[in-house]
A and B are shown apart, each in its own frame.
Chain A
């Protein structure tokens, strides 16, 4: 049945390639706000769903792209395991395929890895309608180029993801969150210092003048670390971290005309005021900036991110015309075009989603 679905998609993509008709890949639509708008015939991945293989003691799960993220997480939770990159859902209905294609990770990312770190294998349909398998279902595998990670975060521009194998990890036995009132630059300095010590950190978030630090691990270790760090206990911390992960936190409510920028920078980059409000995650390495569109100057944000080893993305509220993703260096852009050519020369798949032409 499922094979028939994939075969059908392959045939459709071949047909679209022959007609040079673009295809817009969609899953749950939870990240429709992200990236440039794609025009084309819709290919809905949700009909290809379900867990293919899950062996908890192997720490590997394989599931079809249309599998709802929530279902996958429930299956892992039943075995006291989790997707350690703490994937953002953003809205109900988020799928595994969309999660991997978007390449976005949640609060646990600096400590347990990003989605790209946990992807072990992938199956994709390229722009010729060929169904290809890369990587595998084992933890260590260096056979062939790492196409699984190349596809992760490529937003469907190099292939339609049909199936993914991911490393999963045990859920921590205990978790607690400590809160500290402090100025922003102090918060950034502190989290960087703490990250240099063997502490069981699993998330940090600075918002509204307060720094929240999550500790995860064996109960005695979490308790000892909490005593060492001090601060106040946060009640109902799970709800807080979920709200940060999914952008349900008040901070992410945009007023009319407001945009949200995502600045991924070196963790020690100084706190800088951009005429907007900020939420700082990932031990200082991720800065969300919300503000009125004209006041938040794109050039200034991009220059800041670049000068601190990173990049800036107009995450929400763009006008759909200006660039969303950080411009690439010319030589790197050339490689991107060559890779697009290698996988999807007719430029059928999600054309223009990332950069002009792909």
Chain B
């Protein structure tokens, strides 16, 4: 590569003489030169291109801005070919579509978003119905249980999630115990920390924290797995082979989650209580024996059933949302990402919403 020669453009009698390198790198400079000169140039001015060092398509395009194909002199055959190729294809630039930033557009987008939410909700309800129907068809027929697939998903969603679920609940249990100790100390009632821990973890935290973790861990995985299969037309292949994608893909994941979630919830409750118990023993002198006795007096079994009853419900909703979002993926890899995000957000939202409704329900029936 020779040292770059600066592009030049000079008046030359009735025409102009171009010299230097006419390349993409010099394009802004050349464009400015042309803009300066063009106003003063006669309509039929000729361009002398003999002095041009290097010429690429960008340079050729700009040369053509200066004068027509037939009014450029001093080009060898190769450059003439380049210029012809550029001249032949270049079309008038299309005007950019006008951007609509008005208030009406804002309202329209808001309306479209609301409509979309309604449509999504309807779609989810429809999908839940489809899944329930498939479930009713498959469960009585052991040949359709797909044990291999079920075992695989049980390991992925259940066993592999144990460490994170236990650790997280243990830590939250410890934090709640500290909070309780701090607040209750003023009333001389630190002993009620036991009730606080037992009540919150058995009824709410154990199952809710698990649901949030599983939504982030397994719900997203379901969407990504099914979504990438969808974008590679594997779902269509399943259909053409005479199989039902809901049965093949959704059932094992749903059943795995329905089994794993209650088990994980039990571990979560235990971990939370142990976390609280450790803090109680270390910083409040509540011995483990006393802790367990008080838990019994609390009527822990009843609260345990309230909490665990929500686990299958959350599992069902997370699996349905995760799989449905996967089926909604279209074409590109980008779409897989969008739907995975949407799947996690929806599952966590639905889990908390259902938990709130359940809390009101159990309060009303005095459990």
Query: Is B one of A's binding partners?
Result: no
> Which A positions have Cβ atoms within 8 angstroms of B?
none
Which chain B residues have a beta carbon within 8 Å of chain A's beta carbons?
Answer: none
